[in-house]
Amino acid sequence: RDLSVVLDLGCGKGHVMKHLHSNIVGSVVATDRSAKILAVAEVPEDVICHKVVMDEENINFGNNKFDMVLSGLT
């Protein structure tokens, strides 16, 4: 699979995305509506991660941007 760009929607403290590895994922866009929580979110050590403050009910990304979307407990 080519999972170049993954979206972690409502990532919280990064409980799901911290388990991603560069042999599976190219980069991660982590979103959460809380800037404070997003600031402390755990990110994968070997994967490029971009953090974006965004309400998961108002997603503002273009079409076909992500190869996979993760969302746990949001």
3-state SS of 3-26?
EEEEEEECCCCCCCHHHCCCCCEE
Q: What confidence score (pLDDT) does residue 69 get?
A: 94
pLDDT in tens, the chain (74 residues): 679 999 999 999 999 999 999 999 999 999 999 999 999 999 999 999 999 999 999 998 989 999 999 998 77
What integer pLDDT is reported at residue 8 of this predicted model? 96
* CA-only gyration radius of the chain, Å: 11
Residue type, 12: G
pLDDT the model gives residue 36: 98
pLDDT of 60: 86
CA–centroid distance for 8 within its chain: 3
